[in-house]
Structure 1
Amino acid sequence: MSVIARFEVIPVREGSMSTAIASALRALDRFPVSYQTTATDTIIEADSVEQVFAAVQAAHQAIPDDRVITSVEIDEDRRRTQEMGQRVASVQRELGHPPQRIQPPASHHASARHAQQRPIGQQAAQQPQPPVK
């Protein structure tokens, strides 16, 4: 494939966007493209810019909301074939490990730090129990 793009389709609404995003991704399934969704956007890979635009347009139109914002960034290397997996693998070779790190939420950091400060074998403080009558 020779075109790699990133795009985001944002339904302007309150609450979860998961259902609308899933509709947009289902629209991509009708095109000869590869894609991978991240927490903030979708990476798409195609043989031509025309395929990217057609797929992104379909994803945009699949959002049922009254207002939709779509942005797209396209990288077309006309000198050679490129694939998103090759790019990630190249960075991984340089880095020496997969280019990702999953940190637990900050609330886990505080409880983990607190747990490390307790003497070995000491349990977390329990909630006071009401007296038995």
Structure 2
Amino acid sequence: MTAIGELNVVPVRDGSMAEEIAKAIDALEAFDVADEINPMGTILEADDKRTVSQRAGEKVTAVERHLGRDARRRE
């Protein structure tokens, strides 16, 4: 089964947090964790004991299916 979580970092200083976030993502490679970076955070997926097995992308697809279209993505 898959556990899904999201990590958000709120900067407490001026400037980019990209270097620190990249170090954290790099450190996750020591574990069996999948990651997906997005503009507002990072989605983490790892094996866990749960009743339902569903990947993060499948959750988006489920919402899109209910909308009857692709979810809006703004650039």
State the TM-score bracket (shorter-chain normalisation): 0.7 to 0.9
> Whose helix fraction is larger, Structure 1's or Structure 2's?
1
Structure whose alpha-carbon radius of gyration is higher: 1
Structure 1 unaligned blocks of 5 or more = 49-76, 104-133
Match of 1:86 among 54, 58, 69: 58
Question: Which residue does 2:34 correspond to in 1?
Answer: 34
TM-score normalised by the chain length of structure 2: 0.78
TM-score normalised by the chain length of structure 1: 0.49
Match of 2:69 among 88, 93, 97: 97
> Whose strand fraction is larger, Structure 1's or Structure 2's?
2
Tell me if structure 2 keeps the 8 A contact 1:2–1:81. yes
- Quote the sequence identity (%): 40
Tell me if structure 2 keeps the 8 A contact 1:5–1:43. yes
Structure 2 unaligned blocks of 5 or more = none
Aligned pairs, number: 75
Shift, 1:80, TM fit: 1.9
- Distance (Å, rounded) in 1 between the aligned partners of 2:32 and 2:56: 15
